[in-house]
Amino acid sequence: MNAPERKFNRIYAMQLATIFIGFIVFGISENIKGPAIPRIQFDFNLDEQQLGTLLSLNALGYLIACSFTAILVRLWGIKAASIIAFGSMVLSGVFIYLSHTYPLFASSYFFMYIGNGMLEIALAILGARIFVKNTGTMMNLSHFFYGLSSTVAPLLATGVMSLSVFGHELDWRGMYLVMLSLCLLPIVFALRSHFPGDDLPHEDRISMKTLTRDPALWLMVLILSFGVVSELAVGGWLVNFLEKAYAWDTVKASGLLSGFFLMFSLGRLLLGPLTDRIGFVLSLIVFSAFSAVCTFVAIAGGERVAFLFALSGAGIAMIYPTVMAFIARRYPNGSDTAITFVVTWMGVGSVIGNYVIGWVIDGVKNAYGAGTSIGLLRGLQAGYGFIGLCAAICAISGIILFGYLKRRQELI
């Protein structure tokens, strides 16, 4: 192997390490809050409304980060923007560790979620620029690492909180400091690498005005928004549905939710190559339709086919990374702008979607009788049916996109 090839392989290895480890720490940072929330609530004596406000900072910080991360990428390049995103996560861990009053803690938590939003945009742009071959496979593999770390994050957080260092228990503050400090690892790899696209002249980049005139991009907004609502809502509503509709105990219901996340992770690990083989748009149709069918059959079939709730995870898992792969391939000179646009609208849609699920449950429950068991069952079925409907809308939007691109001979 000659010197240029060795240099290329080393740089590509650094790029892969930045992205893969980046997704691991991203998944950890988003999912360590579960075991910490009860302790935070106790330490600051928060009521449920204050706790809800604190958690809503997630969506607000995320949307704020979406508004300026692409600007940072254009001004300073994706390498600098990525390092800033990782660095802000480390810094937020320090601030959380030092926060002993609620205003300081809330500010630190908000800063962490801004860093989280920056990180999601930066990692998506990195993937779009680096994975020019086998794009679907590599995008899904990257997001598999996110799913894997998300699965183990609550267990890690619980373990770290119980550790003692020099006779002092870390508790939740120390846990945030330790876990968020892991973001130093991808910074090391990013510093030793360089990333394509930053040297592209501004006149060669696709403008936001041009992108927003493309119907395919708006269809991607629909697909990603409804897909993410369907994906995230399962974590919030499945256990609640199983406990109240089928009288399952918490352990059994949580086991099925774990099964969903297992199918979710395996889908991204094993089915990624299929997206490259059959095409990104067709993959979006097939996988979202599969998830919708599993969900609807699980609701209609009752408790005996509840395993289909878990199986639906294999389909809905493919939506986000496949959309990112589509954007990377369709907009090679404007992927950062396109990703920011689509992901920002996705954030708005996911906030609205969760409110709609609660509204549907209450509305149907009241229609059948708010205080009756049949009213509760029908309300829960309708609410969870909306999750399946979101996946179905993904498939329908994909069919429309498929027809549009096929007429223009632009299928990917």
pLDDT digits (tens, 9 = 90+) for 372-382: 888 888 888 99
pLDDT the model gives residue 202: 52
* Average pLDDT value over all residues in the chain: 86
Residue 12 half-sphere exposure, CB side, CA atoms within 13 Å?
11
Percent of the chain exceeding pLDDT 70 equals 93
CA 400 to CA 323: how far, in whole Å? 15
Question: Is the pLDDT reported for residue 8 higher than 70?
Answer: no
CB atoms within 10 A of CB 348: 14
pLDDT the model gives residue 284: 95
What are residue 169's DSSP bridge partners?
164
Name all domains of the chain by residue range, CATH numbers in brackets.
3-192 (1.20.1250.20), 209-407 (1.20.1250.20)
Q: What is the reported pTM?
A: 0.82
Residue 331 has φ and ψ, to the nearest 5°, of -125, 65
Q: Residue 170: which residues within 8 A CB-CB, separation 6 or more? A: 160, 161, 162, 163, 164, 177, 178
Alpha helices, DSSP H, located in 162-214: 171-181, 184-191, 208-211
N-terminal to C-terminal alpha carbon distance within the chain? 34
CA 273 to CA 251: how far, in whole Å? 35
User: 154, 144, 178, 160: which is closest to 24 by C-alpha?
Assistant: 144
pLDDT the model gives residue 376: 83
Q: State the DSSP H helix or E strand holding residue 355, giving kind and residue range, or none if neither.
A: helix 335-368
Q: Residue 6: which residues within 8 A CB-CB, separation 6 or more? A: none
In the predicted model, what is the mean pLDDT of residues 47-63? 72
Q: Residue 67: which residues within 8 A CB-CB, separation 6 or more? A: 344
Question: Is the pLDDT reported for residue 203 higher than 70?
Answer: no
pLDDT digits (tens, 9 = 90+) for 228-282: 888 878 877 888 888 888 888 878 888 888 888 889 889 988 998 999 899 999 9
Characterize the bridge pairing of strands 164-165 and 168-169.
Answer: antiparallel
pLDDT the model gives residue 353: 77
pLDDT the model gives residue 181: 95
The four Cα atoms 272, 287, 401, 274 give a dihedral, to 10 degrees, of 30
